[in-house]
């Protein structure tokens, strides 16, 4: 995960690690390398530039050059800024509803259905919740079947109405079913398209309005870099979602989406997907991710 970025940052910090005493030129060179590493990771130009500007200001403010271990201090400033950029404190998922309703949004292929199963499994085994999965994809019968397969894998009931072509009514019926049968959490998996399109946006916005979820999650493939960030913006403008799920981090060498998404949509990354199996889910901790990136 993010190997390329880690290697490049490590190289950037080499300049600092080699010196007992460092100069303003060393700092400037390092920050230039840090910026280049972020750009190579597919971080947006402005975000990368603002990042290094903030690090520089902090370094000046803390008189880095006069301290005992200036290199270490600068690396710490970079880490703190990275944590801040990725979201600061850990964000939880809102389970205050009765039942709590979680709506999944995102493009087709982003990993929504897989993640719905992972989250159901996570809430069932880690939080002791009775979870209902709901298949709201009215276009692709295969998508409904896929959710049933996933539900079977994790031992969670799946609600579907294959003949019903109205996503809002399926979601509403599912919630009634959940209330009548003592479910604590309802996870609604919706239809995605290959690209952002108006029909999909209207449909998911209608479902969102009708069921008033406690939590709306936007699922996105981290390997798509800046595209992931742009798609997040389009969905957020429409749904004002609560959090992001970054999938396929196991295959992401660059890390641009993880680093940029929070500052563009101002919503936290809540979970990450790290593989195809049902247990390949992690809560996203910005500080742990920064540690991982900085090695
Ligand atoms: P959906 O169309 O958004 O519901 O996407 P799917 O859940 O069908 O996922 C699309 C593909 O991505 C499937 O082949 C999944 O197995 C795969 N996938 C989903 N999440 C992950 C992940 O975290 N890591 C990896 N390596 N593959 C994933």
* pLDDT tens string 241-294: 999 999 999 999 889 999 999 999 999 999 999 999 999 999 999 999 999 898
At residue 174, the pLDDT reads 98
Question: Is residue 270 annotated as involved in ligand binding?
Answer: no
- pLDDT attached to residue 18: 66
pLDDT of residue 91: 85
Q: Which atom of ligand 1 is nearest to the CA of 274?
A: 23
Q: Which token pair is 249? A: 């981090």
Distance 109 CA to ligand 1 centre (A): 6
Q: What is the pLDDT of residue 64?
A: 79
**Helix spans in the chain (H):** 3-17, 24-40, 45-61, 70-86, 112-126, 141-154, 167-180, 198-211, 225-239, 256-265, 286-294
pTM to 2 decimals? 0.94
Ligand 1 atom 5 nearest Cα: 111
Residue 219 CA: which ligand 1 atom is closest? 3
Protein residue closest via CA to atom 16 of ligand 1:
276
For position 172, what pLDDT does the model report?
98
Report the distance separating Cα 294 and Cα 119, nearest Å: 28
Q: Is residue 249 part of an annotated ligand binding site?
A: yes
Low-confidence ranges of the chain (pLDDT < 50): none
| 112 burial via Cβ count (<10 Å: 0-12, 13-18, 19+) | buried
Ligand 1, residues at Cβ distance < 6 Å: 106, 108-114, 192, 247-248, 250-251, 273-276, 280
């Amino acid at each position: 995960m993010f190997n390329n970025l880690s290697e490049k940052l490590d190289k950037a910090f080499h300049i600092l690690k080699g010196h007992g005493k460092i100069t303003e030129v060393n700092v400037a060179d390092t920050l230039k390398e840090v910026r280049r590493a972020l750009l190579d990771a597919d971080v947006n130009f402005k975000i990368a530039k603002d990042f290094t500007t903030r690090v520089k200001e902090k370094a000046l403010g803390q008189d880095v050059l006069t301290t005992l271990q200036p290199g270490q201090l600068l690396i710490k400033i970079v880490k703190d800024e990275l944590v801040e950029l990725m979201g600061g404190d850990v964000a939880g998922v809102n389970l205050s509803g009765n039942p709590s309703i979680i709506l999944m949004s995102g493009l087709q292929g982003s990993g929504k259905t897989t993640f719905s199963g992972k989250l159901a499994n996570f809430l069932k085994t880690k939080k002791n919740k009775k979870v209902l999965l709901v298949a709201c994809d009215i276009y692709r019968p295969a998508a409904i079947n896929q959710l049933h397969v996933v539900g079977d894998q994790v031992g969670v009931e799946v609600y579907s109405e294959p003949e019903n072509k109205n996503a809002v009514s399926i979601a509403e019926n599912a919630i009634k079913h959940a209330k009548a049968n003592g479910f604590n959490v309802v996870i609604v998996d919706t239809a995605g398209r290959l690209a952002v399109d108006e029909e999909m946006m209207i449909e998911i916005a209608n479902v969102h309005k009708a069921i008033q979820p406690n939590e709306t999650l936007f699922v996105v493939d981290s390997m798509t870099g800046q595209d992931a960030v742009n798609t997040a913006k389009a969905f957020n403008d429409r749904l004002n979602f609560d959090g992001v799920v970054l999938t396929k981090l196991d295959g992401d060498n660059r890390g641009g989406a993880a680093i940029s998404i929070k500052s563009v949509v101002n919503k936290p990354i809540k979970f990450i997907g790290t593989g195809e199996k049902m247990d390949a889910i992690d809560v996203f901790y910005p500080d742990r991710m920064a540690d991982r990136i900085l090695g």
